[in-house]
Structure 1
């Protein structure tokens, strides 16, 4: 499609089917998720925050009724992979204060990407600006643990990155 979105056609599942079949549940950042893999067949690795799996992976779904993945920062590196639905927009604030944006989606000619790497220590938020849903996967290394994730607090982010006030306000809960 010329606008880079995908409508649910006859071969596209609806969001209720995706939530049910992928066994997704609400995520603290917003949207829905399900862990699909953890490298429990390998020895865990030591990190500054404790032992972690070498790799974990999830499905992550933003929907029309839960369109925002609120600001958060992970210690681990994360690779995001676009799968289905509408494009998902990402906003990243690097430790030096630089704001980067990216769109995961199918329209490569329009600059959309099929995958996005976000290194540990970078603040990120995601948004589904239009469409019924956007489905991605994330591979996390070292493996995800909630102890390694910080949810963004609006006042703290505004104090640290005042020049990005508009995007911070848009994607924080409070």
Structure 2
């Protein structure tokens, strides 16, 4: 369970499917404005890949000096049950992206994830 304390972030959740079906990709914004669909808590089940980042719209506002950079960020707590063990964790790799998203499909998500994963 991810619990928001302050700020905003976009989560990309990738639900792998069995028997060669395309993965389901969902985007969720954690933030304080529920009227815009933002959530303050996010449950991510086992077996789901996740990636998060600050919102590009927030970063653009910083670049345009509409808001102060110190005001952009995100602070969350992640509650893990049972307790977290590094042995149970695996970072997504470039090969994982290739397996989930063949080259001829989903170029946008491939490019986005390839920029974030470990080589």
Q: What TM-score do the two structures reach when normalised by structure 2?
A: 0.72
Q: How many residues align?
A: 95
TM superposition shift of 1:166: 2.6
1:37-66 CA-to-partner distances (Å, cap 9, x unmatched) read xxxxxxxxxxxxxxxxxxxxxxxxxxxxxx
In structure 2, the residue matched to 1:137 is: 77
In structure 1, the residue matched to 2:2 is: 80
Higher strand share: 1
Q: What is the CA–CA distance in structure 2 between the aligned matches of 1:132 and 1:110, rounded to whole Å?
A: 18
In structure 2, the residue matched to 1:160 is: 100
TM superposition shift of 1:159: 2.4
Q: What is the CA–CA distance in structure 2 between the aligned matches of 1:155 and 1:143, rounded to whole Å?
A: 28
Does residue 172 of structure 1 match 2:117?
Answer: yes
Does residue 99 of structure 1 match 2:25?
Answer: yes
Matches within 5 A, 1:58-69: none
1:102-156 CA-to-partner distances (Å, cap 9, x unmatched) read 0100010000000000001101000013353210011101111101110011133
TM superposition shift of 1:157: 1.7
Q: What is the CA–CA distance in structure 1 between the aligned matches of 2:51 and 2:12, rounded to whole Å?
A: 5
Q: What is the CA–CA distance in structure 1 between the aligned matches of 2:36 and 2:115, rounded to whole Å?
A: 24
1:165 aligned counterpart, secondary structure:
helix
1:147 aligned counterpart, secondary structure:
helix
Does residue 89 of structure 1 match 2:10?
Answer: yes
Any stretches of 5+ residues in structure 1 without a counterpart? Answer: 1-78
1:140 aligned counterpart, secondary structure:
coil
2:47 aligned counterpart, secondary structure:
coil
**Aligned-residue RMSD, C-alpha:** 1.5
